[in-house]
Amino acid sequence: MVESVVYGDQLIAIIIRHDFQAPGIQFFTPGEFSQQLAYMCHPAGKVIEPHVHNPVPREVSFTQEVLILRRGRLLVDFYDDDRNFLESRVLEGGDVILLASGGHGFEVLEEIEMIEVKQGPYAGDQDKTRFKGRTP
């Protein structure tokens, strides 16, 4: 199952639930996103030809991040660009989320292990602006 969190015409997040399954390659992001997210399911014997990635200059204005929740439960709060609370969703072990735009905050509901993937290099304090969110 795939869920989109949308506010107006702005895609805030894409959630790929742990039970999603489809044959072949399924891209969830439009080509212009600075972070691309895809699912792959291939049978034994499928050959993916060796390749290298060519240097292609890219300009990234906003960080998009992918969280891979290995185990536990995580509440994700979504905010618009003006820091207004929109809604919450709960992620469970095996779920994957692309945080595409707007703001976000988290509350750990059950001890978690997760992996985060985002563009670099990390800009330190210039990389994010913290704000007061909803009160759990």
User: Mind listing the pLDDT tens digit for each residue in 26-82?
Assistant: 999 998 888 999 999 999 999 999 999 999 998 888 889 999 999 999 999 999 999
Q: Does residue 66 fall inside a structural domain? A: yes
Number of domains in the chain: 1
pLDDT tier at 135, thresholds 50, 70, 90: low
Q: Does residue 126 fall inside a structural domain? A: no
**Residue 123 clears pLDDT 90, i.e. is over it:** no
Q: Does residue 107 fall inside a structural domain? A: yes
Q: Does residue 83 fall inside a structural domain? A: yes
Distance CA 27, CA 11 (A): 15
Domain range for 75? 2-40+61-118
Q: Does residue 129 fall inside a structural domain? A: no
Q: Does residue 130 fall inside a structural domain? A: no
Quick: pLDDT tens for 1-36: 999 999 999 999 999 999 999 999 999 999 888 899
**Residue 111 clears pLDDT 90, i.e. is over it:** yes
Averaged pLDDT for residues 123-128? 84
CATH code, 86: 2.60.120
Q: Does residue 30 fall inside a structural domain? A: yes
Q: Does residue 7 fall inside a structural domain? A: yes
Distance CA 85, CA 126 (A): 23
Q: How far is CA 136 from CA 6, 77, 88, 96, 109, in A?
A: 22, 10, 11, 23, 11
Per-residue model confidence (pLDDT) at position 136: 58
Averaged pLDDT for residues 121-128? 83
